[in-house]
């Protein structure tokens, strides 16, 4: 094995890792703010992909151009889900909360299958297509743009959380709900905001990968398992942690798959989950 191949594998791992990070960031944000695990997060990703697909199929808008639209749409979906479902189970036992989001997952998947058929679809000619070759290393432009987008979105989210009044309020709610309420922060509004942003992140990830990944109703299930591993590794609720963990998981998956054998790549990633839970249950940057 030559150094070229190794570099190529690392680049591929980094690119997919950044996508994992973006998917996981939304998941971890929702958990951090209100301690609810959203099992329907993969379906938000799926909705984002379909939004891009229909924007392309019906109005010939490229997925990359449609990104702001996709984000807005999914933000609305997140807020609606919060207002109609999540708000009612805030004080319910954890098991009920799990079942509620799990049921939501099945509902969204079923609706997608009903309205858009279980077919696999693809966006044939995106603005971003073709390959980039840097010496011996080759990668697809769609994958590169998606990774770049993931960095941008995660960066913007970090800025929002740490540099704006509204973001700081959200962070405050995440740290201590009671205290934040006493400071005059409207908890309900913050929760709705968290769901909106969380869903928008998944939607953006969907829009970014729609340029190269097949689109079908169960597509979320391919990503959600890995997103959970990323959230655990990064530490529940930590956006920066999820970002780093996404890259690590992507690298480990692709490199491990290449070196050990692709049949073990999922096993390698899931063993990582076990190791983290045993050795450092709070993850890389999680709250103790």
Partner 1 sequence: MRFAAAITEPTRTPTRRQTIKRMLAAAALLTTTALTGIGIGAAPAHAEDEIRIGVIYPLTGAAASTGVELKAAAELAAAIVNKEIPAPPGLVAGIGLPNLKGAKIKLIFGDHQGNPQVGATEAERLITSEKVVALTGAYFSNVTATASQVAERYGVPFLNGESSSASLTQRKFKWFFRTTPHDDLFVGNFFTFLGDMEKKTGDKLRTVALFNENTLWGNETTKLQVKLAEEQKFTIAEKILYPAKTTQMTSEVQRIKAAAPAVIMQSSYLGDAILSMKTYKELGFSPKMLLANDAGFNDSEFLKTMGKDGEFVISREVWALDQAERNPLIKQVNDLMQKRSGVNFNGNSARAFTGIAVLADALDRAGSTRPDAIREALQKTDIPASGLIMPWKGVKFDANGQNELGTGIIVQVQGGQYVTVWPFDVATKPVVYPMPAWDGR
Binding status of residue 3 toward partner 1 by CB under 8 A: no
Among 191, 216, 228, 243, binds partner 1 (CB under 8 A): 216
14: phi > 0 → left, psi -120 to 50 → alpha, else beta; which? alpha
3-state DSSP of 130-185: CEEEECCEEEEHHHHHHHHHHHHHHHHHHHHHHHCHHHHHHHHHHHCHHHHHHCCC
81 token code pair: 């889900």
Considering the rule CB under 8 A, would residue 263 count as an interface residue with partner 1? Answer: yes
Task: Work out whether 89 is an interface residue with partner 1 (CB under 8 A).
Answer: no
Question: Which range binds partner 1 by CB under 8 A, 16-24, 64-72, 82-90, 103-111?
Answer: 16-24
What is the closest distance, in whole angstroms, from the C-beta atom of residue 218 to partner 1 in the complex? 8
The reply on whether position 37 binds partner 1 by CB under 8 A is no
Measured from the CB atom, the residue of 177 and 265 that comes closer to partner 1 is: 265
Stretch that binds partner 1, among 7-15, 99-107, 161-169, 236-244 (CB under 8 A): 7-15
- Cα angle, residue 254 at apex, residues 282 and 278 outer, rounded to 5°: 25
Q: Is 228 in the site for partner 1 (CB under 8 A)?
A: no
Per CB under 8 A, the list member of 87, 120, 162, 287 interacting with partner 1 is 120
Residues near 156 by Cβ (< 8 Å), separated by ≥ 6? Answer: none
What are the DSSP calls for 186-212, one per residue? -HHHHHHHHHHHHHHHHHHHHHHHTTT
Does residue 39 belong to the site contacting partner 1 (CB under 8 A)? no
The distance from CA 5 to its chain's CA centroid, rounded to whole angstroms, is 28
13 part of the interface to partner 1, by CB under 8 A: yes
**If you ran DSSP here, which 8-state letter would residue 215 be given?**
B
Q: Does 16 engage in binding with partner 1 (CB under 8 A)?
A: yes
For partner 1, the binding residue among 56, 75, 195, 213 (CB under 8 A) is: 213
Candidate list 169, 226, 239, 272; residue touching partner 1; CB under 8 A: 226
Distances (CA, A) of 196 to 76, 123, 143, 190, 267: 6, 26, 25, 10, 33
Given the complex with partner 1, which of 173 and 211 has the nearer CB atom?
A: 211
The residue range among 84-92, 172-180, 211-219, 275-283 that interacts with partner 1, by the rule CB under 8 A, is 211-219
User: Which of 147/170 has CB closer to partner 1?
Assistant: 147
Residues 6 or more apart in contact with residue 173 via CB below 8 angstroms: 33, 180, 185, 187, 190, 191, 194
Residue 75 interacting with partner 1 (CB under 8 A): no
At residue 139, φ and ψ (nearest 5 deg) are -150, 160
Residues lying near partner 1 in the complex (CB under 8 A) are found at: 1, 5, 8-9, 12-13, 16, 19-20, 119-122, 124, 131, 133, 138-140, 142-143, 212-214, 216, 221-223, 226, 253-258, 261-263, 265-266
């Amino acid at each position: 094995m030559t150094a070229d191949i190794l570099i190529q594998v690392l680049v591929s791992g980094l690119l997919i890792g950044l996508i994992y990070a973006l998917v996981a960031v939304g998941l971890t944000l929702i958990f951090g703010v209100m301690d609810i695990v959203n099992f329907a997060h993969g379906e938000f990703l799926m909705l984002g992909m379909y939004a891009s697909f229909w924007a392309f199929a019906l109005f010939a808008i490229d997925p990359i151009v449609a990104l702001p639209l996709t984000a807005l749409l999914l933000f609305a979906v997140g807020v609606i889900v919060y207002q109609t479902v999540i708000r009612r189970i805030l004080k319910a036992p954890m098991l009920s909360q799990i079942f509620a989001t799990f049921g939501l997952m099945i509902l969204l998947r079923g609706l997608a299958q009903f309205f858009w058929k279980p077919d696999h679809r693809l966006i044939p000619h995106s603005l971003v297509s073709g390959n980039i070759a840097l010496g011996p290393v080759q990668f697809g432009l769609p994958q590169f743009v998606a990774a770049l987008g993931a960095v941008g979105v995660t960066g913007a989210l970090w800025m929002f959380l740490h540099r704006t009044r509204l973001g700081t309020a959200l962070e405050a709610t995440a740290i201590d709900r009671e205290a934040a309420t006493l400071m005059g922060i409207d908890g309900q509004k913050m929760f709705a905001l968290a769901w909106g942003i969380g869903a928008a992140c998944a939607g953006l990830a969907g829009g970014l990968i729609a340029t190269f990944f097949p689109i079908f109703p169960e597509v979320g299930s391919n990503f959600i398992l890995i997103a959970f591993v990323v959230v655990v590794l990064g530490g529940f609720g930590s956006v920066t942690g999820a970002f780093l963990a996404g890259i690590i998981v992507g690298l480990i998956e692709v490199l491990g798959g290449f070196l050990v054998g692709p049949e073990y790549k999922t096993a390698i990633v899931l063993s990582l989950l076990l190791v983290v839970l045993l050795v450092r249950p709070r993850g890389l940057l999680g709250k103790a």
